[in-house]
């Protein structure tokens, strides 16, 4: 809340809700990360964490109505937590258990909860964008005022799928908000190494100009600012004025994902690429000092919205909830192997 | 009541009937509905019928999204090769979302595209590339060979709760045939025996069905009774009907316009090798396109494709006959 521009219509209850969800996401991701050392072998494959993006995720989702819908990417743990998906089912999915949100068929990259409006993710960069655009086309035809939020990263903005989708969404005035979570890195490639706008010192939101839609860049570490921008975009979309591109500048506080290694090599999370690859620990330390979770806590406490004790209670509750999620997932059975041929086709 | 319609007329009738039956069916793609005179636009309106930019990834990806949101889109792709631009959506998104979510979502959509346009279109618009979509769990592939099947398979595709590649053969576009009026459905995974015979089984798809039937006619004059089977859908594949026929004939010729290792022939040969080996009295013979990109010039184009002569020769070979012999003689 560096600029302290007020709370843009968010009352105390809503601000506390936002903070609570941010803390829950952070704690969930901490437990996922800790699983690699505390329970080696329990998480397989490739896992991507949302730490650092909490303010952006929750600020965006706070701008959606109950019947609105969203799609996201393989970095998908944050959204369902804020939508109310049980952390137990999510952790069990990441642990490959029968009780998982997707029954163990999808894992970390494919957490999906259509009953809460979260229609899916793609594990392939940028490929969920046209799908979300199609959900928005459906919403337009249905004519019930639904809006779709489409979340993706800065890397995806170099995919043809992004450009094709924004063109059609603007042409057809689809009710969609594109939230570009710019964390500055495509895996280990910095944005200015792969993005012409970034290399020219321009915000990535300028891409909206090419598609004749509004574009805005916002501090993704400030949930109130994110909410303000996304809420304005949602309002335009609901009013039939078409899509908006919101660039939300965040800093991912973990590496892109756990190490990619063949079986036999224990998996773990390496240091952030700024440290591990670019030898720039000062960049990472600066980002840590702007960590959105303590920042929001400081804002709420300094404004008297929360007492320090109340903020601690929120954190304690999140810790207990996520510890339970880990216990639940560890206790849960694996799926029956024969279930692997279910759900290939819909009957 | 059936009456004669061209293949393309049967396709359009089927789509029109399905759109009239179910308001969730959408139809969009490039270069359709660009004026109010478009019959689909006129009947079903601009919500359900739209022209898109040349953006196959967005077109197919949006179909996936609309399907996730409860609609049943039919994407007009014109040429199967245009799907290659959007392979992720076709292969790695649409057919996998239901599975990866543990059955929480369904993705009912139809990718409607022509193929096999071996009429001088050279290398990039002439392929029979259905093999690329075969063996993708969650994806279905229909290859209608007659106007009636074109109507019935498209209607079934639209009503199916899975992504379906509906591949119509360009060289059959104006072929006439009897087509039932009104609602007409052809089930997936049910082969049609186009001609009965006890000496040899010929399996063919699409345009090749006509070639196989013509070859069978010539062979009949020599006293050879060929059974011609059209799988109609290659995913799911009705292996049972083929195995049953091979159990009777003991001989199998597979005719396929695709290149040898990208064909459904190779898949059928494997199924028969595993489950029907005991019935075989001769090695399985595959008559496929040669392993070459389709050339432009007509003599070369004809050279690489399967034809009636190649099918007849293959049948004679599996029967152990020289060119001048016959079963009866």
Class of the CATH domain delimited by B192-318: alpha beta
In contact, B99 and A101? CB cutoff 8 Å: no
Interface check A100 vs B, CB under 8 A: yes
What are the pLDDT digits (tens) for B28-63? 999 999 999 999 999 999 999 999 999 999 999 999
CA distances from A28 to A23, A49, A90, A185, A207 (A): 8, 9, 9, 23, 33
Q: Six-digit token pair at A256?
A: 């892109």
What are the pLDDT digits (tens) for B213-266? 999 999 999 999 999 999 999 999 999 999 999 999 999 999 999 999 999 999
Contact A134 B61 (CB under 8 A): yes
- Tell me the CA end-to-end span of chain A in Å, nearest whole number: 51
Confidence of residue A6 (pLDDT cuts 50, 70, 90): low
Q: What percent of chain B has pLDDT over 90?
A: 97
| Chain A partners within 8 Å of B60 (Cβ) | 130
In contact, A17 and A9? CB cutoff 8 Å: no
Give the chain A residue whose CA is nearest to the CA of B29: A168
Confidence check: pLDDT of B329 > 50: no
What is the secondary structure of A27-76 as a DSSP string? HHHHHHHHHHHHSTTSS-S-----TT-HHHHHHHHTTS-TT-EEEEES--
d(CA B299, CA B288): 17
Span B287-301, mean pLDDT?
Answer: 97
Which chain B residues have any C-beta within 8 angstroms of a chain A C-beta?
26, 47-48, 50, 52-53, 55, 57-71, 73, 88-89, 92-93, 97-106, 108, 137-138, 140, 161-162
At B325 the pLDDT is 55
Which residue in the block uniquely carries the two structure tokens 């119509």? B168
- The mean of the pLDDT values for chain B is 96
At A7 the pLDDT is 73
| Chain A partners within 8 Å of B108 (Cβ) | 346
Q: Six-digit token pair at A74?
A: 């393989």
DSSP annotation of B289 reads E
d(CA A34, CA B195): 66
| Chain A partners within 8 Å of B61 (Cβ) | 127, 129-131, 133-134, 161, 165
Give the chain A residue whose CA is nearest to the CA of B235: A345
Q: Which of B71, B101, B162 sits opposite A106 (nearest CB)?
A: B101
Q: Where in chain B is the domain with CATH 3.40.50.920?
A: 192-318
Q: Does domain A12-329 have CATH number 3.40.50.970?
A: yes
What are the pLDDT digits (tens) for B143-182? 999 999 999 999 999 999 999 999 999 999 999 999 999 9
In contact, B151 and B10? CB cutoff 8 Å: yes
Interface check A122 vs B, CB under 8 A: yes
Q: Six-digit token pair at B207?
A: 């345009």
Interface check A175 vs B, CB under 8 A: no
Q: Which of B50, B58, B67 sits opposite A130 (nearest CB)?
A: B58
d(CA A159, CA B323): 57
- The mean of the pLDDT values for chain A is 96
Half-sphere exposure of B248 toward its Cβ, with a 13 Å CA cutoff?
16
Q: Six-digit token pair at B266?
A: 């190779």
Interface check A343 vs B, CB under 8 A: yes
In contact, A237 and A176? CB cutoff 8 Å: yes
pTM across the whole model: 0.96
At A1 the pLDDT is 42
Catalytic residues of B: 125
Task: Tell me the domain boundaries of chain A.
Answer: 12-329
Contact B106 A346 (CB under 8 A): yes
What are the pLDDT digits (tens) for A115-163? 999 999 999 999 999 999 999 999 999 999 999 999 999 999 999 999 9
Q: Domain B2-180, what architecture?
A: 3-Layer(aba) Sandwich (3.40)
Half-sphere exposure of A274 toward its Cβ, with a 13 Å CA cutoff?
17
The pairing of strands B140-142 and A176-182 is unpaired
Interface check A45 vs B, CB under 8 A: no
Contact B61 A69 (CB under 8 A): no
Give the chain A residue whose CA is nearest to the CA of B103: A343
Interface check A164 vs B, CB under 8 A: yes
């Amino acid at each position: 809340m560096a600029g302290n521009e007020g709370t843009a219509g968010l009352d105390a209850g809503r601000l506390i809700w936002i903070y609570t969800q941010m803390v829950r996401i952070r704690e969930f991701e901490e437990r996922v990360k800790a699983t690699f050392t505390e329970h080696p072998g329990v998480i397989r494959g490739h896992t991507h964490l949302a730490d650092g993006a909490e303010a952006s995720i929750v600020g965006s989702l706070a701008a959606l109505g109950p019947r609105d819908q969203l799609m996201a990417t393989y970095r998908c743990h944050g959204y369902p937590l804020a939508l109310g998906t049980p952390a137990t089912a999510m952790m069990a999915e990441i642990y490959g258990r029968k009780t998982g949100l997707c029954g163990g068929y999808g894992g970390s990259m494919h957490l999906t909860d259509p009953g809460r409006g979260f229609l899916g993710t793609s594990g392939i960069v940028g490929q969920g964008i046209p799908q979300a655009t199609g959900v928005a086309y459906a919403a337009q035809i249905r004519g019930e005022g639904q809006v779709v939020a489409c979340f993706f990263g800065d890397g995806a903005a170099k995919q043809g799928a992004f450009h094709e989708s924004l063109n059609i969404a603007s042409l057809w005035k689809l009710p969609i908000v594109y939230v570009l979570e710019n964390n500055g890195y495509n895996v280990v490639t910095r944005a200015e190494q792969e993005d012409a706008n970034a290399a020219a010192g321009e915000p990535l939101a300028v891409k909206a100009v090419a598609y004749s839609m509004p574009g805005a860049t916002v501090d993704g570490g400030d949930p109130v600012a994110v909410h303000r921008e996304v809420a304005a975009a949602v309002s335009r979309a609901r009013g039939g004025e078409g899509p908006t591109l919101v660039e939300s500048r965040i800093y991912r506080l973990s590496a892109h994902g756990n190490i990619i290694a063949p079986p036999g090599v224990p998996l773990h999370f390496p240091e952030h690429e700024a440290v591990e690859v670019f030898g720039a620990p000062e960049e990472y330390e600066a980002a840590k000092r702007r960590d959105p979770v303590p920042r929001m806590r400081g804002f709420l406490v300094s404004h008297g919205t929360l007492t320090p004790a109340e903020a601690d209670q929120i954190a304690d509750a999140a810790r207990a909830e996520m510890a339970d999620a880990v216990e639940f997932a560890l206790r849960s059975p694996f799926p029956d192997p024969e279930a692997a041929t279910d759900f290939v086709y819909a009957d | 009541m059936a009456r004669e319609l061209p293949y393309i007329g049967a396709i359009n009738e089927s789509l029109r009937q399905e759109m009239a039956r179910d308001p969730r069916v959408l139809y969009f793609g490039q270069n359709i509905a660009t004026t109010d005179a478009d019959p689909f636009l006129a009947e079903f309106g601009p919500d359900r019928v739209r022209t898109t930019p040349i953006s196959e990834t967005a077109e197919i990806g949006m179909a996936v999204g609309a399907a996730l949101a409860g609609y049943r889109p039919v994407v007009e792709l014109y040429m199967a090769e245009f799907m290659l631009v959007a392979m992720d959506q076709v292969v790695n998104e649409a057919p996998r979302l239901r599975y990866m979510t543990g059955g929480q979502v369904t993705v009912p959509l139809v990718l409607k595209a022509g193929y096999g346009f071996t009429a001088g279109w050279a290398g990039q618009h002439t392929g029979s590339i259905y093999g690329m979509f075969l063996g993708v769990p969650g994806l279905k592939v229909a290859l209608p060979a007659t106007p009636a099947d074109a109507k019935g398979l498209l209607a079934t595709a639209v009503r199916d709760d899975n992504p379906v590649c509906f591949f119509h053969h360009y060289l059959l576009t104006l072929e006439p045939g009897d087509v039932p009026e009104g609602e007409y459905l052809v089930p997936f995974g049910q082969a049609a025996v186009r001609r009965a015979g006890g000496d040899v089984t010929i399996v063919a798809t699409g345009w090749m069905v006509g070639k196989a039937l013509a070859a069978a006619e010539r062979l009949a004059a020599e006293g050879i009774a060929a059974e011609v089977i059209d799988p109609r859908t290659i995913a799911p594949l009705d292996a049972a009907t083929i195995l049953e026929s091979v159990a009777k004939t003991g001989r199998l010729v597979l005719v396929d316009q695709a290149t040898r290792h990208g064909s459904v022939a190779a898949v059928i040969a494997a199924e028969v090798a595993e489950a029907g080996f005991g019935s075989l009295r001769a090695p399985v013979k595959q008559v496929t396109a040669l392993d070459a990109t389709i050339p432009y010039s007509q003599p070369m184009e004809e050279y690489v494709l399967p034809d009636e002569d190649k099918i007849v020769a293959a049948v004679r070979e599996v029967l152990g006959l020289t060119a001048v012999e016959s079963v009866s003689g």
